[in-house]
């Protein structure tokens, strides 16, 4: 690969910023949801989080120390548009201007995600993603972000993990706004989200102050072949892109959320399987969703193994007894960063960024004052090795963002789970760089195939 590989870290607004009601910010659905008893572990909220709103300079200093060349963060929609649309909150814009300027001064490329789950409460009260106007609301917000920041920011991502904010937020109900709507509503909201993506891309291209790069960041659990045989590889690929037979599992799906955006059509098997839940798909809807993109992001944490069964159909293998897991019980499967990007690149043909990858560990500050997170180092080492192997084998991979820079608010799990390269003591807001931050620093500084690597 000729293209340079970027090494970054990612966060999202609600998970780190805090300042929930400061400087004119409007409320979002997570502000409201967290205040309902029993919804979040320990009754935690994002009201203060990592206080990044006030400590962003220190945090950027840490990024510089680690040596990351790119930082992926999200904008809090309600911080800059308190009602979701209409009057602009200039103090909110000023915060992001300070953040962006500080990143650039420190030689770190900003990657803006427009939407990472914190939907403005005022728009939710108007029907949220169920309302067809949500398409225009998002495009208006995207236009504003582009007008204000594209003089300095080149990379933009529309949505982070639409599977989660629709599936977990509006169908299974464990995330904000906590709805358990019928599946038909889920499909309608998904349709609106992808139209909102397309309309936003059009608005952003029109408003950009200079050429910008736009991508999309869904998530997937990767289907990896049990062996290198052609049959198993085909079986794994088929399973990865298939729409689940059980419509209840629909939202955890690659092709439903990406084929319309990347290829301009819904996957055929899904259209047949989910016929009874489908919204009214009007002429022009799919064309709108399918706007030219510059890259395709993917959040990948783990996967499962698949082999070709005797009847040729994909068979998912049981995990072996005692398989490796993270502190949250997620399987550790480094091969996901080989097969996921490879299959996605073959299907969608766009440069790939791993927009999130990481693990939660049982981190603690030891007596020597340090955080010895050996298992995170091993995880990163093995996952990155797979990713670079895929790159060597011809998958066009442009970057890797570790999730997350800081320990932060892990949604329904509150502050229980720690994903950061940097430990946060929430009582004092003291930051401690973990051993993994030092490992990543060395990696980027030229160890292995760090910055500037070209195969």
CB of 309 to ligand IFM, least distance (A): 31
Catalytic site residue from 161, 174, 275, 324 = 161
Examine residue 12 and tell whether it contacts ligand IFM (CB under 6 A): yes
User: Within the chain, how many helices (H) and strands (E) appear?
Assistant: 16, 12
CB of 115 to ligand IFM, least distance (A): 12
Nearer of residues 263 and 328 to ligand IFM, judged by Cβ: 328
# chain residues binding ligand IFM, by CB under 6 A: 8
CB of 411 to ligand IFM, least distance (A): 6
The contacts found for 176-184 with CB under 8 angstroms, 24 or more apart, are 176/29, 176/30, 176/32, 176/33, 176/34, 176/117, 176/119, 177/29, 177/32, 177/33, 177/119, 177/124, 177/128, 178/33, 178/36, 178/39, 183/247, 183/248, 183/250, 183/274, 183/277, 184/276, 184/277, 184/279
Examine residue 51 and tell whether it contacts ligand IFM (CB under 6 A): no
Examine residue 258 and tell whether it contacts ligand IFM (CB under 6 A): no
Output the DSSP codes for 202-219. HHHHHH-SS--EEEEE-E
Say whether 325 sits in a helix, a strand or coil. Answer: strand
CB of 419 to ligand IFM, least distance (A): 6
Residues 356-385 that bind ligand IFM (CB under 6 A): 356
Cβ count within 10 A of residue 95 = 23
Active site residue 161: yes
Say whether 180 sits in a helix, a strand or coil. Answer: coil
List the x/- string, 110-139, binding to ligand IFM by CB under 6 A.
Answer: ------------------------------
Catalytic site residue from 17, 102, 335, 356 = 356
Rounded Cα gap, residues 431 and 370, in angstroms: 11
Residues 382-421 that bind ligand IFM (CB under 6 A): 403, 410, 419
Active site residue 356: yes
Backbone angles phi, psi at 152, to 5 degrees: -120, -20
Nearer of residues 291 and 299 to ligand IFM, judged by Cβ: 299
CB of 12 to ligand IFM, least distance (A): 5
Residues 161-200 that bind ligand IFM (CB under 6 A): 161
Nearer of residues 383 and 403 to ligand IFM, judged by Cβ: 403
Cβ count within 10 A of residue 446 = 12
Task: Identify whether the C-beta of residue 73 lies closer than 8 Å to the C-beta of residue 10.
Answer: yes
Name the one residue in this structure whose structure tokens are 């992808």: 194
Residues 321-360 that bind ligand IFM (CB under 6 A): 356
Interacting residues with ligand IFM (CB under 6 A): 12, 15, 161, 299, 356, 403, 410, 419
Catalytic residues: 161, 356
């Amino acid at each position: 690969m000729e293209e340079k590989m970027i090494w970054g870290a990612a966060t999202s607004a609600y998970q780190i910023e805090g300042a929930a009601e400061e400087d004119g910010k409007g409320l979002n659905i997570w502000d409201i949801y967290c205040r309902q008893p029993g919804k979040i572990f320990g009754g935690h909220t994002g009201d203060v989080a990592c206080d990044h709103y006030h400590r962003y300079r220190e945090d950027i200093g840490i990024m510089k120390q680690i040596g990351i060349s790119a930082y992926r963060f999200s904008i809090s929609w309600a911080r800059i548009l308190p009602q979701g649309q209409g009057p602009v909150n200039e103090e909110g814009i000023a915060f992001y201007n300070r953040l962006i300027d500080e990143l650039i001064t420190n030689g770190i490329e900003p990657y803006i995600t427009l939407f990472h789950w914190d939907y403005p409460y005022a728009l939710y009260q108007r029907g949220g993603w169920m309302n067809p106007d949500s398409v225009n609301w998002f495009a208006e917000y995207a236009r504003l972000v582009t007008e204000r920041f594209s003089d300095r920011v080149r990379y933009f991502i529309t949505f982070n993990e639409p599977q989660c904010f629709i599936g977990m937020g509006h169908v299974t109900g464990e995330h904000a706004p906590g709805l358990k709507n019928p599946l038909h509503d889920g499909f309608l909201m998904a349709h609106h989200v992808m139209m909102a993506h397309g309309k936003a891309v059009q608005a952003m291209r029109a408003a950009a102050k200079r050429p910008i790069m736009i991508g999309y960041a869904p998530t997937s659990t990767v289907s990896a072949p049990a062996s290198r045989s052609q049959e198993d590889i085909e079986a794994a690929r088929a399973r990865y892109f298939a729409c689940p037979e059980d419509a209840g599992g629909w939202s955890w799906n690659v092709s439903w959320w990406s084929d319309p955006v990347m290829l301009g059509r819904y996957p055929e098997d899904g259209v047949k399987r989910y016929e009874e839940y489908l919204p009214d798909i009007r002429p022009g809807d799919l064309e709108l969703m399918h706007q030219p993109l510059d890259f395709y992001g993917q959040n990948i944490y783990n996967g499962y193994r698949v082999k070709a069964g005797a009847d040729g159909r994909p068979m998912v293998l049981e995990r072996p007894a005692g398989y490796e897991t993270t502190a949250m019980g997620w399987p550790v499967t480094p091969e996901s960063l080989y097969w996921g990007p490879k299959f996605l690149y073959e299907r969608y043909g766009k440069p790939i960024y791993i927009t999130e990858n990481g693990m939660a560990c049982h981190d603690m500050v030891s007596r020597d004052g340090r955080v010895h997170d050996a298992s995170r180092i091993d995880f990163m080492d093995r996952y990155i090795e797979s990713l670079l192997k895929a790159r060597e084998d011809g998958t066009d991979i442009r970057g890797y963002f570790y999730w997350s820079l800081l320990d932060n608010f892990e949604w329904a799990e509150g502050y229980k789970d720690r994903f950061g390269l940097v430990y946060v003591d929430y009582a004092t807001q003291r930051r401690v760089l973990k051993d993994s931050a030092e490992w990543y620093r060395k990696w980027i500084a030229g160890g292995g195939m760090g910055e500037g690597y070209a195969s």
